[in-house]
């Protein structure tokens, strides 16, 4: 199964993609995570992406499309779930072009799920997020507090706010989402003989969102 999860930053794509990957045995491919790894490793791509990421802008399509096509080509036959990609209509078109080429088999996207969330909820969720620079554990100042304020439960390291979770950058990322990524929803909804498309209310708690997603995908698998 080949799935795309769309949604504003902070809609919970990462959490839901992990759960989908586990349940259906798929490879979870997050463009944001891959970019962060490239940055941490100090690669050419990581260096090129740095300034765009820190300001909440999108990394140029060409770099992202190449990076993701490479990652997708290594996915197992069971399929993959894409998290954070495509984010522009051009990326979606390029993804479509690259998919049918694989080993002569039909590789088209089966389902697109759109996580829909209010901007107000996104701002609350993202600006309150804190993470451990040592182990990557994620907390929230209201909803997922560490045992000792400001310290990681696992290793005691001082928790930090990711630069792209600051209020200014979150507002920029939302603006970018509304200007560029929302059009991707229409691209998939209006594509003839395109993938199955589902609207999911992501203002709810994560378990309820997962229930809705699994209900849709289970029905698709057994159809």
**One of 3, 17, 53, 132 touching ligand AMP (CB under 6 A):** 53
Which residues from 89-118 bind ligand AMP, rule CB under 6 A?
Answer: 91
Is 111 strand, coil or helix?
strand
45 is an interface residue for ligand AMP by CB under 6 A: no
Written as six digits, the tokens of 214 are 């699994």
Please give the size of the binding site for ligand AMP, defined by CB under 6 A. 17
Residue 13 bears catalytic tag: yes
Bridge partners of 151?
A: 158
Binding residue for ligand AMP (CB under 6 A) from 5, 58, 92, 174? Answer: 58
Instruction: Decide: is 177 part of the binding site for ligand AMP (CB under 6 A).
Output: no
The DSSP bridge pattern shows strands 80-83 and 111-116 to be unpaired
Place of tokens 């045995």: 25
> For ligand AMP, which is the closer residue by CB, 53 or 112?
53
Can you list the alpha helix ranges (DSSP code H) found in 29-79? 31-40, 44-55, 61-72
Only one of the segments 16-24, 28-36, 106-114, 208-216 lies at the binding site for ligand AMP (rule: CB under 6 A); that segment is 28-36
Find the shortest distance in angstroms from Cβ 215 to ligand AMP.
25
> Rule CB under 6 A: is residue 59 a binding residue for ligand AMP?
yes
H/E run at residue 163: none
Distance CA 130, CA 102 (A): 40
Cα distance between residue 4 and residue 163, in whole Å = 26
**Could you count the other beta carbons within 10 Å of the beta carbon of residue 71?**
17
Is residue 129 part of the annotated active site? The answer reads: yes
Residue 130 is among the residues annotated as catalytic for this protein: no
Q: Which residues are catalytic?
A: 13, 87, 129, 162, 173
Which residues here bind ligand AMP, judged by CB under 6 A? Answer: 9, 31-32, 35, 52-53, 56-59, 64, 84-85, 87, 91, 164, 173
């Amino acid at each position: 199964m080949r799935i795309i999860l769309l949604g504003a930053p902070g809609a919970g794509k990462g959490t839901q993609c992990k759960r989908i990957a586990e349940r259906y045995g798929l490879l979870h491919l997050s463009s944001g995570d891959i970019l962060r790894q490239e940055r941490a490793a100090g690669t050419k791509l990581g260096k090129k992406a740095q300034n765009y990421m820190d300001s909440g802008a999108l990394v140029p399509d060409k770099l992202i499309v190449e990076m993701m096509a490479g990652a997708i080509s290594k996915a197992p036959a069971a399929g993959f779930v894409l998290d954070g990609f495509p984010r522009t209509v051009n990326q979606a078109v390029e993804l479509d072009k690259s998919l049918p080429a694989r080993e002569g088999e039909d590789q088209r996207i089966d389902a697109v799920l759109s996580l829909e969330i209010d901007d107000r909820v996104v701002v609350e969720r993202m600006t309150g997020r804190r993470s451990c620079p040592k182990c990557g554990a994620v907390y929230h100042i209201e909803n997922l507090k560490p045992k000792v304020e400001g310290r990681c439960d696992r290793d005691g390291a001082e928790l930090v706010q990711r630069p792209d979770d600051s209020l200014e950058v979150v507002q920029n990322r939302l603006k970018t989402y509304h200007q560029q990524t929302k059009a991707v929803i229409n691209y998939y909804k209006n594509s003839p003989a395109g993938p199955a498309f589902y609207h999911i209310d992501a203002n709810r708690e994560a378990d309820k969102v997962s229930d809705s997603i699994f209900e849709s995908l289970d029905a698709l698998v057994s159809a």
